[in-house]
Each structure stands twice: as structure tokens, then as C-alpha cells.
Structure 1
Amino acid sequence: MEITVIASLSAQRRARDLAELPGAVVDVVVVGGGVTGAGVALDAAARGLSVVLLERADLAAGTSRWSSKLVHGGLRYLAHGEIGLARESARERAVLLGTTAPHLVRRLPFLVPDAAGRDVTALAAAGGRLGDAVRWSVPGGRGSLPATRRVTADDVGRMVPAVRPGRGGVVFWDGQLSDDARLVVALARTAAAYGARVLPGATARAVDGGTVHVELDSGEGFALRAGAVVNAAGVWAQRLAPGVRLVPSRGSHLVVPADRLGSPSAALTVPLPGSRSRYVFALPQDGGLVYLGITDEPVEGAVPDDDAQPSDAEVRQLLETVNQVLTEPLTRGDVVGAYAGYRPLVLPASAGAGPGNATADLSRKHLLSWDGPVLTVVGGKLTTYRAMAEETVDAVVARLGRGSARSLTARLPLVGAAPRVALDRVTAPRRLVARYGTEAPIVEALGPDLVLPERPETVGELRFGVRHEGARTVADLLDRRTRIGLVPADRERAVRAAEQVLAAEL
């Protein structure tokens, strides 16, 4: 069976869209190409609205590529009594696992070892069972994940061999993305399949009434008119909506070789000292790496455009926390990479001047706020992006008086998605299927040669990124379409391959 590429974000399509947009009138302009903005663009386009998505840099260039790559059910929300938010998270996780992106989301066991303390595992067991009950209460949740259970010392040794031997633990289950940036790209391409114009390298400089002034990264500019402007710029949302009250926080991760933890098959879960709801996770990844995170530190002042960097204190905190349960402690010498991202936390109206250092305790609820034709959507979590987008477009449809009143996205598979039985029949390497779904054979056919001998990424992935996923620069290819850039030494050696592909394809 021949497989065709749907909704190619090619250089030709971008040039055509740019030629048509100056002076155009559209229903919705979405500002921000992260998971929220891409989700809004898809929801709006699927309802029949004309949509333009503007992103100043690249798809997933901001917060959305710096997550823990988890699709989680909100156990932490339960600890803070936010049952509604936990149910929403569990419902959206089931949608992603079952319909939206089964190729990008997998089940992942989380191990809380008794080596962290029996009081810790008792609390984890209680929380896990409460999370199971919440999952069972939402559509599609009952059969989506296994139940929480006790495990033996032998089980612990098999799941995470680096944990001190001789004691058991508790396992609960959640969802893991193969790559958060790939989810954003899939959303944007699916939106494009419904007619949305997706434009990385285009900054919304100002909104004057219904007129949006756009500056391209080439230095050129143009204006277009929109019935509504959705501000989904995350921690940078205040540039278009100064009245929105945000308290950004920084979440950091370390990248370590998986063999330093015995190549774990489960996520090692260790509580931060003194906390009953915050954990450090050692999250196994394809390609022989583990991501160790996550911190939650308040950010003072304006959020810069440049990527965040973990502080020395965060590095120390992550290593010291996980080392509590390891036979051989991790050291800074084991760290081969690190990354950090900003969270756009919303400050409640009742909070007065600010929450001090309590960003970890701020709600992950999102905010919708109109200011003239601009609707700001900010806050929330990656897991609940679809629900946020649906609520946002509901508000836009009500304001415009056109477009379908019902969202389609809970039943709408993204490009590459298929039921798991169909994904199992795709004739391509399993790693490519987990990243490209039904399009994996196309990616494989574009070139199976490895970008670097000791890494799994292929030249075909780079070519596919340029031809069909809107990649225009080395950073787009190495830092977002693939994640080679998470290990700086590998990134440096892969630059030449990326440059060669760009020269040949553009």
C-alpha cells in the first residue's frame, strides 16, 4: 500500500501562504507555535474557520520542547485537592493514548522504591490508587493503564537495576511522549491539512483593532485582518496582553546515559526532601538516555527570548535527590546534557502582589481573557492542551458567530496516528513508528544512514523535517525535529550533516 504525506509544511507552501496573506482577512490569527497555539489552530481549522498561525521562531521553539515528555493524570493535583483538574488530565491522557496520538504516547511504569522510605511508598500507593479511581471515572480511562501495585525486590532490580538492592516498592502507571516537539509538529501539520496557514519565522508585532502587524525573520513585514486574535504565546503572552498576571517558573532536567542507571525500563521516582507532592523522576528514553527532572524555581523579571539554563543549585538538587536510592551515586561527570524551560503559571486575582517562592504550589489551571479582539489563553499543562484549545475556540466561535459550535478534536487522529493494531503492522523500524507512526516507511525510504554512528537518528529524518515539517535551519533539525541537540557534544558533530541536508533540500 502506497503511503502519501498529508499536509506537507514545505518551503513551497510557506512561500505561497506568504504571497497570499498581505491584506488578507481571516477568521482567526493564532500567535504562538507551541502545543497550545498549534492545538488552537487545529481546533479552529477543523471547525471550518480560516486560520493563520504565527510563530516568531520555530514550532515548539519555546516551552513545549522542554517538558518532561509526560502525558500525566495529575497525581500532584490530587495532593492539592484539585480533583477537577486531575479528572481533566486523566481524560485528556486517555484521548491522546487512544485516539489523538497513539504512535507518540506509550504506557510507562513509575517505580517508587522502598529505599526512599516505607512511608514514601505507602503514600505513593495511596496516591496511585486514588489516581486509578479518577482514571476509571473518565471516558476511556478504565482500560488505558494498568493498576497501581506493590512489587518485589526482584522486580525493582529488573526495572531500575541501579537502585540499592534488597527492598521492594510501588509501581503506578502514566503516559510518556516519545517527543514533545514531535507532538507540536503533528498538531501543526494536521491543522494545515484542514487549511490553516502555519508560518514559523513570523512575529506578531502589534494588534491594532482587528489588524495584525507581522514581521518576518527576513525583515519584511505585512499586515492582515482577523476577526479574533488568539494570544497563545505562553510566558511571553504579556507582550500582547500586559494585563495578564503571570508568575513564570523554570523547570530543569539533566541528561545522563541510561547505562549509569542500568538501562531502566521504568521511571525511577524519588520525593524531594521535605515534600509530599513533588518528585524527581529519572525518565528512560529511546536512544540510551535518561532525563532526570524536574525542578520548579521562580523566575524574576522579564522572561528572555533565549533558552533557559539550569542553575548549579538545580543540578545539585536533582543529583542529590536521586542519589538517595542509588547504589552508585551519579556525579556531575555523568551529565552529558541539560535543559530548562519556562512555565507560564497564572497568578490568581486573589494573590495580591505575588506568591513569593511558591510557584510549585500555584495551580496549573489555565486562563482565558479577552482584551478587545485579542483572546489570551495561558497556563495549563501539555497534557490538557486539547481541552484548553477547545474552550478557546468555543469562545472565538461565540464571538464571531460562525464556525461549528462543536469541537472535533477528541475524535480526530493527528497525522501519523492509527490504532495500535495498525501501528504494529507498519513495516518500518519500531523507533521510527514511535515517532512518525504510519509515515515511518516514508521516513525510512528517505535515507536509513545514521547521522552519527552511535545514535539512532537517520538522514531520512533530517530530509523529512525539511521537506514536510517546516524545518529551515540547523537548529530546527537538531534541536526540534530530532533531539540530537540535547547532548551538546553530539550536536556539534551533527551540524555538518544537517547543513548538507538543508543545502540539498532548500
Structure 2
Amino acid sequence: MSWINERSRAVSLASIQEQEVDLLVIGGGITGAGVALDAASRGLSVALLESQDLASGTSGFSSKLIHGGLRYLAKADVGVAWESALERRWLMEFIAPHLVRPLGYLVAEAKASPRWEFWAAGFGVLLADGMRRLSGLSGQYLPPPQRLTAAAAHRLAPEADPDRMRSALLYWDGQLEDDARLVIAVARTAAKHGAHVLTGLKAIAATDRTVTALDERTGGLLNLRAGAVVNATGVWAGQLEGSLDVLPSRGSHLVVAAERLGNPRAAWTAPVPGHFGRYVFALPQSNGQVYLGLTDELDRGADGHATAVPESDVEFLLETVNRTLAEPLLPTDVLGRFAGLRPLISKSGDGAPGQSADVSRRHVLLDLPGRPITIAGGKLTTYRKMAEDAVDSVLRRLGREASCVTRKLALVGAAPTAELAALGAPLRLVHRYGSEARLVESLSRVEPMLAEEVATGSGVTGAELFFGVVAEGASSVPDLLARRSRLAFVPELAAAGTERAGEVLDAANQWLAQRGSPGPDEGFGPEALAGSG
């Protein structure tokens, strides 16, 4: 069963203390969840340990993009670009078509810039589209690029100043509905294949076959054994593997109302002066917001779970984007801000202060005798390949053979576009839950509290939060506001929704206590919820 909740946690906790598993995975971000799924789908017994909540670190604070690596072509890193193009295909076509959609990007030919910059950018876009074709991803998913007049570009991005551009280039890439939802879907799919998914379990020490973990719920220590251990803890990887030098690079974003920017239908790029190939993006979201990002600054002292956005980043992002706008954004237009830490891996000469943008995005696999296998670096788009490499190493340690099957392994909720369109559920829910959208919607017809918005104007209902508790492992109000929804990105909405989120959490926990944790095929729905009293 794919559901994870407090009941499944208790069962899994008892099981891994009684019986050694083939693999213990440390870290509940996209990489750790990917490793757990890859291993479980190859037939290994697996337990995933996360100290806080799924996607509570870097994986929940990205730009929400599945991109084919255009920026890496600008740095002549063809290997990373090609790997990104391949992984984008698997995600869009097979793994998570409900969570990934095409997003158009506008690159302006600015009147104030030399023409060679635009033509160089255009050449890179053509190379990237060539990689898209070679990867096997058809134009049905990502159309080929095209050149637009300034007026046509203005219609797609109304606040982008047409008087500052000669023309524009429109190209297409992948956009995630929500990065946290991808992590949750991967973890739940791993659970469906038999993996134990345990949040609130912090690894404090590890060897090649053992993990000492602290149960954050009880304060008790657990000594766990496995055939192999994988360290997939992102920016914290160096705490378990001392030979690794992780460079935490801060990626800050600002949240702005889409209406303030004319409700753009495409993203647009604002070049960073003096840094060819580096841009600030204005990324329209499906929730009526636009994310402005991102920065790329070394920040060794930042909290990976709650990375602060300094005022200098706010000023940089606004100043860069405003160079392209007809009416500049003001600090008062910023509804919220968020940041994540990229776990970049230092090499000789890398990582001078403030220059993390120049560090490679290649991932690193360390398989050293007597130590956990460590998988680090990389980026969200290539998580599946990182997981495959890590599990290949696990199998070599175990002396076993099993082929990777995750390239075309659909996540929970994934379905063909035609099937999703025929669900008859609200489009917002389909984009977030895929084929489970009708199940989530059915909750709203049981109890008025679940039908209502958690915070007025947010679009998020109590039914979504209830589902987050009983099926997706949320165990606290912050889990619900920060990751099962994105209300925490706008402090005003989070404050308005806190009380209702607490009420839904209590109701869901009561329901679990009375019924246990049945799956959808065991009668979960309006009748089951009503029958719980």
C-alpha cells in the first residue's frame, strides 16, 4: 500500500528493529526517496530514514523546474546537459506526467545589449532542442523554439517592457507543479513497493552496515542493521562522510502576485549583468503567483531546513528583474520569500566565496570500504539517475544482480493525459494529485470543514490537508502548511490557515486512531470517513 502515516510509521518502526533489511537509506529528500524507490523496485527490502519531514530540506525549496540543462551548455558541461535532457524525458513521458508540464521561456533581444549575446543564446537554445529530439522526447511534450516579435512576447508576458527589446526567442522546458509533491509521490511509490518510510528518525551515526538513529517522537535510540547503508542527506552529507566537502549554495526566490505582473503565460529571463548565460527568472505558477529567482551564493552557515533570505538577495533579484519590466516591482510587492541550499561538491579550485555558480552540478558517488555509500551533488532533475548509480553500488556490495526499472516506472497518481482529463475533478487537484484527485475531492463532501478553504483566497481546502495526514505522512501543522500545501511561502496565508490546519490535523489523527490506515481499495472515502464518527 502506498499510504504513509503515523500508523504505518509504527508498524515500520517495529519491523526494522526486529529484522535486518537489505538497505537503510538516510535522507528523505528527492535523492533519498529516489534511492528507496529504485532499491525497492528491484526487490530489495528497504527503510528510508528522515529526521524531519519529507522534502523538508533542499528538495522543497527549488525553482520547481525539470529542465533540460540549457544553462550547462552555456558552461560547456555537455555531460550534465545531456543527462538532464534524458531524465526530463522519463519524468514528462512516464514517471510523473501529472506533475510536470511544459513551460515557455522568453529570452529577449534587448536593444541595449550587443546582438551577439542574443544570437549566442539562440544557438544554445537550438542545441538544447537538438538534445530534446535526441533524447526521444517529442514536440508533443515540448514544442520547438521560435522567434517572436516584441509585441508577441509582450502578450505572453505583459509586464516585460516591449520598448526595451527588438524581438524575443520562445523556448520550452519542464515545470513541476510542486517539488515537495514530487518527493512525496516518489516516497509513496517506494512504500507501494514495500519500502518502510519513517520520518522523525534522525541518523546520528552510521557505518557500512549500521545506523544509530534518534526517534524524535520519543527520544529513544535505535540501533539498526542492514546489508548496506546509503547516505543521501544532501547538504548534510559531509556529517556522515568526512572526506566530502559540501558547498551549500543558497538559491533565493521571491513570491509575487501574478496579477501584479499582468498574469504572464510564459516565464521570462532577466540576464545578470557581467555573467553571460546566467539569468534571473520570473516563473509563473498555477496558484496565481510568480516566483522570482534565483541567487547562487555560497552560504556555509545557513540552516538547511529554514534557509533565510537576506535583504541583499531581495535587492539583487528585484534590481535584475526590474531591468526588463515596464513598471518596476517594489519591495512591497513581495508577498513572501524562500530559499534552499544546493549541495554542491567542492573540487580543487572550486568554491571561492560568492562563486558557487561556477561549481559543477555533476553528482558524486563515494563507495569506500567500511563507510556508507554516499550519493551527493547533482540536481533535482537528475535524481533518478543518481538513485540508479547508488543502488548499483548497493547491489555490488550485496553480491546481487537486479536491473533498474525506474525509467518508465509511474509514480502514484501518474496517468496518461487523456485519462486525467476524463476524471472530472477540479484541474487544480488533478495537477497536484493526478489520478487520486477524485479521492481527495470526495473528502470535501463529507464534512464542511474539509470543503472550505484553509485560508481565504488560497485555494487550498481542508480535504487536501486531511489527505496529507492520512496518506502522505504529514504529522504536524508545519508539515501541512509548508509542504503538503505551500501556504508557508506567503506568511499572511500561513498565519490565516494555522488554526484550521490544526483542526484538520486533529480530525485526521482521530480518524486514523479509530480506523487504522486502510488503502483506497479498502473503502476509504466519504462513507468510511462518516462511519468513523
Match of 1:222 in 2: 222
Match of 2:395 in 1: 397
Deviation of 1:208 after TM superposition, in Å, equals 4.4
Aligned to 1:82, which of 57, 77, 82?
77
In the aligned structure 2, how far is the partner of 1:373 from the partner of 1:239? 12
In the aligned structure 2, how far is the partner of 1:462 from the partner of 1:172? 36
Task: State whether structure 2 residue 441 is matched by structure 1 residue 444.
Answer: yes
Match of 1:112 in 2: 107
Please give the residue correspondences for 1:349-428 in structure 2 after superposition, counting only pairs within 5 Å: 350-351=348-349, 354-371=351-368, 372-402=370-400, 404=402, 406-428=403-425
Deviation of 1:144 after TM superposition, in Å, equals 3.2
Amino acid paired to 1:144: Y
In the aligned structure 2, how far is the partner of 1:440 from the partner of 1:209? 41
Amino acid paired to 1:212: V
In the aligned structure 2, how far is the partner of 1:503 from the partner of 1:69? 30
Gaps of 5+ in 1: 1-5
Amino acid paired to 1:493: A
Amino acid paired to 1:494: G
Match of 1:27 in 2: 22
Deviation of 1:441 after TM superposition, in Å, equals 0.3
Shift in alpha-carbon separation, 1:141–1:40, aligned structure 2, 3 A: farther
Match of 1:124 in 2: 121
Amino acid paired to 2:418: V
Amino acid paired to 2:5: S
Kept in 2: contact 1:101–1:414 (CA 8 A)? yes
Amino acid paired to 2:355: A
Match of 2:210 in 1: 211
Task: State whether structure 2 residue 329 is matched by structure 1 residue 340.
Answer: no
For 1:92, what is the secondary structure of its paired residue?
A: helix
Task: State whether structure 2 residue 270 is matched by structure 1 residue 270.
Answer: yes
In the aligned structure 1, how far is the partner of 2:467 from the partner of 2:506? 14
Once the two structures are superposed, residues 290-338 of structure 1 have per-residue CA deviations (whole angstroms, 9 ceiling, x without a partner) of 000000001135x535411111111111001110111110011100100
In the aligned structure 2, how far is the partner of 1:241 from the partner of 1:370? 10
In the aligned structure 1, how far is the partner of 2:83 from the partner of 2:43? 26
How big is the alpha-carbon RMSD for the aligned residues of Structure 1 and Structure 2? 1.5
Shift in alpha-carbon separation, 1:120–1:424, aligned structure 2, 3 A: farther
Q: TM-score, normalised by structure 1?
A: 0.95
Amino acid paired to 2:386: M
Please give the residue correspondences for 1:24-423 in structure 2 after superposition, counting only pairs within 5 Å: 24-115=19-110, 117=113, 118-140=115-137, 143-166=140-163, 167=165, 168-208=167-207, 210-218=209-217, 219-301=219-301, 303-348=302-347, 350-351=348-349, 354-371=351-368, 372-402=370-400, 404=402, 406-423=403-420
Kept in 1: contact 2:208–2:228 (CA 8 A)? no
In the aligned structure 2, how far is the partner of 1:201 from the partner of 1:9? 13
Shift in alpha-carbon separation, 1:209–1:23, aligned structure 2, 3 A: farther
Once the two structures are superposed, residues 9-37 of structure 1 have per-residue CA deviations (whole angstroms, 9 ceiling, x without a partner) of 12211111112222421110000000000
In the aligned structure 2, how far is the partner of 1:328 from the partner of 1:142? 35
Kept in 1: contact 2:106–2:267 (CA 8 A)? yes
Query: Percent of pairs identical after alignment?
Result: 50
Deviation of 1:141 after TM superposition, in Å, equals 5.2
In the aligned structure 1, how far is the partner of 2:233 from the partner of 2:41? 21
In the aligned structure 2, how far is the partner of 1:387 from the partner of 1:59? 20
Aligned to 1:501, which of 485, 500, 504?
504
Aligned to 2:457, which of 441, 451, 454?
454
Once the two structures are superposed, residues 242-279 of structure 1 have per-residue CA deviations (whole angstroms, 9 ceiling, x without a partner) of 11121111010000111111010100111101111110
Task: State whether structure 2 residue 475 is matched by structure 1 residue 482.
Answer: no
Match of 1:3 in 2: none
Kept in 2: contact 1:49–1:403 (CA 8 A)? no
Kept in 2: contact 1:48–1:403 (CA 8 A)? no
In the aligned structure 2, how far is the partner of 1:14 from the partner of 1:210? 22
Aligned residues: 497
Amino acid paired to 1:216: D
For 2:291, what is the secondary structure of its paired residue?
A: strand
**Segment of structure 1 superposing worse, 102-111 or 127-136:** 127-136
For 2:345, what is the secondary structure of its paired residue?
A: coil
In the aligned structure 2, how far is the partner of 1:187 from the partner of 1:328? 41
In the aligned structure 2, how far is the partner of 1:358 from the partner of 1:317? 15
For 1:464, what is the secondary structure of its paired residue?
A: helix
In the aligned structure 1, how far is the partner of 2:360 from the partner of 2:377? 9
In the aligned structure 2, how far is the partner of 1:108 from the partner of 1:462? 27
For 2:135, what is the secondary structure of its paired residue?
A: coil
